[in-house]
Structure 1
Amino acid sequence: MQLKPISQQVVAIVGASSGIGRETALRFAKKGAKVVVAARSQSGLVSLVEEIKQAGGDAVYVLADVSEFEQVKAIADKAVETYGRLDTWVHAAATGVLAPFDQITPEEFKRVIDVNLNGQAYGAMAALPHLKKEGRGALIHISSVEARRSIPLQSPYSASKHGVEGFLEALRVELQHEGWQISVTNVMPSVINTPYYNKVRTKLGVKPTGVPPYYQPSIVADAILYVAEHPTRDFIVGDVGKVLDVMQRVSPSLVDNLLLLIGFAGQRTDEPKSEDAPDNVFEPIEGYDRVEGDFGNLAIPTFTDWLDMNPPLKWGAVAAAALGVAAVIGGLFPGKDA
């Protein structure tokens, strides 16, 4: 499957007013892509488009609530109306409610599912007809490592991310069966330093946080730009996420016990915050139209992502390690002479 170089792409980025989406839009535009950005925050979109244009890029924006299919469809339609086609769809919009499950209302749970799961599905539904018209393209859906392992106090968010993985797996095989050259990628970040924890609803009595360590949004943008040119099934961003995925596969009960130790206190800061404080669950909020959040001091570098973006070196390293292990075992248990 061959995807276009980024410089030749028309890219729609949903959830672009802040965080991962904003950083990704800036990076696509810097590489020469024509960019359509969408979110609920008009101030965030206006400032983003201005930043892109001041740097010599080409971008337009669409106000959209992803829980409404017609508004999502308008994003894809705007790309075709403005630039003549759509090559890549990047879907990053998300919200959340941090609280014990029995303190979350049915309306709150439904809203998170509507935005994080149904919104992602609507994005694929809106983009696919245009990608099929071009004969190739990329669907890039930003979910979370919580697609692989749920976290306490985040039940609706975790449920939505599991759902994204489920529908993408089905869709990917359907497209392969029909012979379409359309890449479907699930990008699963670890804990990322974005304004997400400033904007979501909390019933913990304090401002919430992800369980450290954090990674900066730039590493997710690196992965997104990579898979926009290199068809990739899944991409877990951040070393900690990869380790958690392996641990979950080996022993879910071990991860249960780990989360009992760190998963509750680890999601609370010392900063008081009422559940009545403004949040973005049902309406956008102002003041957070930026890439990074408040936890840059807890961010660390990642190492394995680079290997994932350089497969020959990755598998060479794996082969070398396997040979090394085999040599050690051979030295411990030498064979008898014939």
Structure 2
Amino acid sequence: MGRRVQDVRVAVVTGASAGVGRATARLLAQRGIEIALLARGRVGLDAVAEEVRAAGSRALPIEVDMADHEQVVAAGRRIMAEFGPVDLWINDAFSSVFAPFQETRPEEFRRAMEVSYLGYVHGTRVALSQMVPRDRGTIVQVGSALAYRGIPLQAAYCGAKHAIVGFTESLRCELLHERSNVRVTMVHLPALNTPQFDWLLSRLPRHAQPVPPIYEPVVAARAIVGAADRPGRREYWVGMSTVLTILGNRVAPGLLDRYLARTGYKSQQTARPADHDRPNNLWQPLDGPGGHDYGARGEFTGRSHSRSPQAWLSRHRRLTAAGLAAAAAGTAAWRRR
């Protein structure tokens, strides 16, 4: 089995400067884990590092573009030198484009894939270089309901998340073949209230938004830490919307095609006109020197859920199964009366 989070000494979180990565780093810091924080934006990195230290843990913020393999390798060497070998690596960094596919330029699509897919590949490779020789460690790939169901206006993101699933499944088979104790698991998330809607490149006519129901980043963070605690499972689904999306696509993908063609454009946009002159973070971080600290939450807090009962039940399947069995036995006994 992989090491439980409370036994982990050194963790890495990519995309740590904002959103889900920021929320996850905060939770790990409460466990006293030394955390290497990887992201492009200096302002966000410095801010999350201070949060980690305030919680009583050591922080190592490293500016790195996950699309650049050599930068990731260099970050891995620095982590090893300053903290020691990595026990837990969480891949979360991404960038993307909100636009119809035919309005997404080839170089933009390539860049989104390099960050959001190859960034996971590079991070996983560096993690394995430190875990395999010790025959222990856990890698958590942060995925999405859109890893199994593509939606309009997010072809680059959906393509990257689909690719991560295929890559991770292939790697898991190889580790099993080698009888390795290194564990790899995935956490598939619902729509989240993160800053991505304020900094991703968008060509939509109105301001982008997550498809409701919307959850706060801490819901994702709890699931990620829970998955790291129990890495023997292949994957975790967070939020009932994720469950329904994945299962619905297995049963009736054609029906979902038509439903999303009809509703997918409106549901991803607010009523506010988009500002097409605002800067975006596809090529350069917006929280670089002199920039803004975006934090973990986005602008949709008033519409977001801070808890997901389904996610809790997913992490505690044995307890849930026992409760259901007890309820069924009680019902049967009552009927016999």
* Interval containing the TM-score (normalised by the shorter chain): over 0.9
- Shift of the 318–94 alpha-carbon distance from structure 1 to 2, 3 Å rule, reads farther
Unaligned segments of structure 2, at least 5 residues:
333-337
- Shift of the 288–240 alpha-carbon distance from structure 1 to 2, 3 Å rule, reads farther
Secondary structure in 1 matching 2:89: strand
Q: Within 5 A, what are the aligned runs for 1:254-333?
A: 254-286=255-287, 287-300=292-305, 301-317=307-323
Q: Give the corresponding residue for 2:335.
A: none
- Shift of the 241–17 alpha-carbon distance from structure 1 to 2, 3 Å rule, reads same
Instruction: Give the residue type in structure 1 aligned to 2:61.
Output: Y
Q: 2:199 touches 2:279 (CA, 8 Å); kept in 1?
A: yes
Partners of 2:253 and 2:326 in 1: CA distance: 29
Q: Within 5 A, what are the aligned runs for 1:147-166?
A: 147-166=147-166
Instruction: Give the residue type in structure 2 aligned to 1:246.
Output: L
Total equivalences in the alignment: 328
Q: Give the corresponding residue for 2:38.
A: 38
Partners of 1:55 and 1:69 in 2: CA distance: 31
Q: Give the corresponding residue for 1:336.
A: none
Any idea what the Cα deviations from partners look like across 1:21-49, whole Å, max 9, x if unmatched? 01111111111111000100001111111
Q: What percent identity do the matched residue pairs reach? A: 34
Q: 2:21 touches 2:92 (CA, 8 Å); kept in 1?
A: yes
Give the Å deviation of 1:226.
1.1
Instruction: Give the residue type in structure 2 aligned to 1:47.
Output: A
Partners of 2:201 and 2:127 in 1: CA distance: 30
- Shift of the 32–166 alpha-carbon distance from structure 1 to 2, 3 Å rule, reads same
Instruction: Give the residue type in structure 2 aligned to 1:219.
Output: V
Secondary structure in 1 matching 2:286: coil
Give the Å deviation of 1:321.
8.1
Instruction: Give the residue type in structure 1 aligned to 2:62.
Output: V
- Once the two structures are overlaid, the 10-residue window that deviates more, 48-57 or 215-224, is 48-57
Secondary structure in 2 matching 1:90: strand
- Shift of the 305–91 alpha-carbon distance from structure 1 to 2, 3 Å rule, reads same
Any idea what the Cα deviations from partners look like across 1:142-167, whole Å, max 9, x if unmatched? 12111010010001110010000010
Q: 2:5 touches 2:225 (CA, 8 Å); kept in 1?
A: no
Give the Å deviation of 1:134.
2.4
Instruction: Give the residue type in structure 2 aligned to 1:258.
Output: Y
Q: 2:137 touches 2:181 (CA, 8 Å); kept in 1?
A: yes
Q: Within 5 A, what are the aligned runs for 1:56-205?
A: 56-205=56-205
Partners of 1:322 and 1:153 in 2: CA distance: 44
Unaligned segments of structure 1, at least 5 residues:
328-338
Secondary structure in 1 matching 2:177: helix
Partners of 2:311 and 2:4 in 1: CA distance: 22
Partners of 2:139 and 2:227 in 1: CA distance: 10
Partners of 2:170 and 2:323 in 1: CA distance: 32
Per the normalisation by structure 2, the TM-score is 0.92
Partners of 1:109 and 1:68 in 2: CA distance: 16
Q: 1:101 touches 1:155 (CA, 8 Å); kept in 2?
A: yes
Partners of 2:324 and 2:71 in 1: CA distance: 45
Q: What's the Cα RMSD here?
A: 2.0
- Shift of the 126–2 alpha-carbon distance from structure 1 to 2, 3 Å rule, reads closer
Secondary structure in 2 matching 1:43: helix
Give the Å deviation of 1:273.
2.2
Q: 1:203 touches 1:274 (CA, 8 Å); kept in 2?
A: no
Secondary structure in 2 matching 1:264: helix
Q: 2:237 touches 2:314 (CA, 8 Å); kept in 1?
A: no
- Once the two structures are overlaid, the 10-residue window that deviates more, 7-16 or 120-129, is 7-16
- Shift of the 174–319 alpha-carbon distance from structure 1 to 2, 3 Å rule, reads farther
Partners of 2:36 and 2:315 in 1: CA distance: 25
Give the Å deviation of 1:247.
0.7
Q: Give the corresponding residue for 1:28.
A: 28
Give the Å deviation of 1:84.
1.5
Give the Å deviation of 1:277.
1.9
Q: Give the corresponding residue for 1:335.
A: none
